[in-house]
A and B are shown apart, each in its own frame.
Chain A
Amino acid sequence: MTTASIRCENLTLRFPVYGADAKSLKKALARAVSVGGALGRHAGVTDVTALNGVNLELKAGDRLGLIGHNGSGKTTLLRALSGAYEPDEGTIDVHGRIAALLDLSLGIDPTATGYENIRLRGRIAGLSSREIEGKMDEIAEFTGLGPFLAMPVKTYSAGMQGRLAFASATAVEADVLLMDEWIAVGDSDFQKMAHKRLLKLVERAGILVLATHELPLLKLYCNKVMRLEGGVASEVVDIRKVEQLLAA
């Protein structure tokens, strides 16, 4: 197994937000042919700087909590770390198998059964069909969904979907786990199991990056914390200084 590490240098991410106007071909054409279009070709497209010069260095065993207001860039940073967003400036360098739990619906097909969804997610995460079958019992047990696994996922409650997603995503021996705060979905039983599994990940010297608004959760799982404000990141500080960071 490789040693997990995350390094971001001067990571800047801008993205165009395409408004309804910008998605219309007619309006794009009208702009292209209009004489002297002084309003600019980018009418309707707004550039948003979601991350601005973020520097971040994490090594094996680090559990980073991301805090910040809504829209401060937490999820964008997680998506960038997952490899989905490419930086406009700077670099992202991640060693280790990445598992991202940002969106419950990843590869979840509501009409398919729980088992089929586990297979689908496993395939997306890079497992072969045989590897998935090998892990199936363990995953099935971890979800605690029992006979419900043979039923379509659309009949599940949000908490049950959360169990399914968490179980199948962490079944892959991930070194780097990226999580948006939805971990709070399950009931207390599940929370306990999830806790155990996260601890196991930490034991394996993995890296956890968790975005959350909840201080207790942060203190439970993380040993470091970083605050994002309008796409600008603070220093990474020890979890014990979280109050100071929040007050700043």
Chain B
Amino acid sequence: MDTATHMLRTGRRGALFQLQMAARDLRNSFARIGLAWSLATHDVASRYRGSVLGPFWITLSMGLMVVGIGFLYASLFNLPLSQFLPYVALGIVFFGVMTGTINEGCETFVQASGMLSQTALPMFTFVWRTVFRNLINLAHHLVIVVGVLVFYGMWKVSNPLLALIGIVLMLLNASWISLLAGIASARYRDIPQIVISVMQFAIFMTPVFWLPGRFGEHQIYLDLNPFYHLLQAVRAPLMGEPVLPNTYVVLVSMAVIGWLATFLIFARTRRRIVHYL
């Protein structure tokens, strides 16, 4: 129906039609996935234009934070540095990617308003742009991950394949949250502030800088924290620790339910998003 040389738009309504249109948007975005990638690489290149280190600047600041917090907390809580530093490093890097994808999701459509209001580009292209941009950042931060794992000899016990599954699950979940935040932020300008606050709160409530250790009767709060599961699925395998089966249950069901609900919302709001901007 919509090809490079044919565009048809109708005033048809109805839930089924809206779903079809949303599905078509998604399909078209995959058909032109290279565009999302080009936009993402352009974003990264232009953000760090003229700087010597480029995206490695965030890697550097992350590295500093890892070393600072690693040494400080290890000595405060009497923890062995060889265990705690990799733990904090992986936590900060992967939580950062999650936060980045979600926070920048708020800007997905607002930033693209110029393009959305004069082209028939799929909306999803811009969602993937945000996700890809954060993937590129992650690729730079892998320096920290690999460095720490090698330095503390943890690579011998880590399971990269399982960690990769964890990363996929993390991105699957972060991307629907990112899309949801994008739609809501286009409509209500308060949302980005709320999202940023929630993510900031989450980083302290999730065992990123601290060990879950003896949580005792409060363990339930940890189990209810989706960010804990998201992080565990990536961090635990890299540290050679087992991932609890219920973590996968939580992540898979969260991805399925989250995507279904977000896709329905997207289908309903799709044609309006451009007017929100």
Contacts and interface: CB of A to CB of B under 8 A. Distances in A.
Interface string A110-140: 0110001001100110101100000000000
Given A16-B275, A91-B10, A120-B42, A98 B120 contact: yes
Contacts of A112: 42, 46, 49
Given A23-B189, A97-B4, A91 B115 contact: no
A124 B119 contact: yes
| Most interface-central of A84, A89, A93 (chain B CB within 10 A) | A84
B7 A25 contact: no
CB-CB nearest 9 A-B residue pairs: A83-B120, A25-B190, A89-B11, A87-B11, A25-B188, A86-B271, A92-B9, A102-B118, A100-B118
Interface in A178-198: none
Interface string B175-195: 000000000000111110010
Interface residues of B, number: 36
Interface of B: 2, 4-11, 32, 34-35, 38-39, 42, 46, 49, 114-121, 187-191, 194, 271-272, 274-276
Given A16-B275, A82-B119, A84-B119, A105 B114 contact: yes
Task: Identify which of B32, B120, B121 gathers the most chain A CB atoms within 10 Å of its CB.
Answer: B120
A118 B89 CA distance: 40
Interface residues of A, number: 50
A91 B114 contact: no
Nearest to B275: A15
Secondary structure of the A contact surface, majority rule: mixed
A92 B8 contact: yes
Nearest to B276: A18
A98 B118 CA distance: 10
B271 A100 contact: no
A28 B191 CA distance: 12
A31 to B, nearest CB: 12
